[in-house]
Amino acid sequence: MENIIARTINLEKVYSPGQHNEVKALKGVTTEFRAGEFVAVIGPSGSGKSTFMHLLGALDRPTKGDVEIAGKLLSQLKDNGQADLRAKELGFIFQGFNLLSTLTALENVILAGDYAGLPAKITATRARELLTEVGLTERFDHTPAELSGGEQQRVAIARSLMNDGRLILADEPTGELDTKNSEAIVELLRDLVRKKQKTIVMVTHNEDLTRFCDRVIKIVDGKLA
């Protein structure tokens, strides 16, 4: 049981509960994720994939059920406790990169270290190391506008690793990239799983990319298919 990094327990999410337009986005999803595992989450549009990721990432609270991350049940944590867990145990990679346009690649990654509470004297060194690992040695001082989409996503990957958390959530990380860059990014994620023993959960609409993953979870109409 020690290698279980995260699990969801009978997870339900209802939007506008009790109202005429009530939407049951998730209907009792129970699953678990192990250390060093690269898992794809697929399903049709509106199936509940993004809701699942938001709940798994402690970005929203379920209507019923629970999420356990690094041995901690989210239901037992207050908002500041969940924020602390996100800062120390989770990394996030988004479809739109979510980089600050006025900061360089290096500064964007350093900022994640500040958020995680890392000592200032090591954040710059660690940020340079991570950007080098993702192939951006020559791009430290470039702003997002000076980077390609693939390069921006590499900065975002480096940023997600800054706190050395065990679970990384990637929500459509290749959604704005062409086929070549999409495959390069997912291969990079797979290599990070193997090298750093991270657990990566990736929501994707591109089922072709699931060949790089260890396991595939399919959500249909709010349930595991």
Residues in the chain: 225
**Can you tell me the distance from the alpha carbon of 105 to that of 176, in angstroms, rounded to the nearest whole number?**
19
Residue 186 falls within a domain, yes or no? yes
Beta bridge partners of 24: 14
Residue 48 falls within a domain, yes or no? yes
Per-residue confidence (pLDDT) for residue 1, from 0 to 100:
45
Domain that holds residue 124: 36-59+88-224
Residue 108 falls within a domain, yes or no? yes
**Can you tell me the distance from the alpha carbon of 221 to that of 225, in angstroms, rounded to the nearest whole number?**
9
| pTM passes above 0.85 | yes
Q: Residue 41's closest CA among 213, 160, 221?
A: 213
Per-residue confidence (pLDDT) for residue 2, from 0 to 100:
62
Residue 3 falls within a domain, yes or no? no
Please tell me the total count of domains within the chain: 1
Residue 175 falls within a domain, yes or no? yes
Residue 14 falls within a domain, yes or no? no
Per-residue confidence (pLDDT) for residue 16, from 0 to 100:
85
Residue 114 falls within a domain, yes or no? yes
Q: Render each residue's pLDDT in the chain as its tens digit; 225 residues.
A: 469 999 999 999 999 877 888 889 999 999 999 999 999 999 998 899 999 999 999 999 999 999 999 999 999 999 999 999 999 899 999 988 999 999 999 999 999 999 888 998 899 999 999 999 999 999 999 999 999 999 999 999 999 999 999 999 999 999 989 999 999 999 999 998 899 999 999 999 999 999 999 999 999 999 998
Structure tokens at 52: 């699942």
CATH number, position 120: 3.40.50.300
Alpha-carbon separation of residue 134 from 1, 16, 19, 181 (angstroms): 31, 42, 47, 13
Residue 80 falls within a domain, yes or no? no
Beta strands of the chain (E only): which ranges? 4-15, 23-34, 38-42, 64-69, 72-73, 90-94, 167-171, 199-203, 215-220, 223-224
Q: Residue 93's closest CA among 213, 185, 3, 29?
A: 185
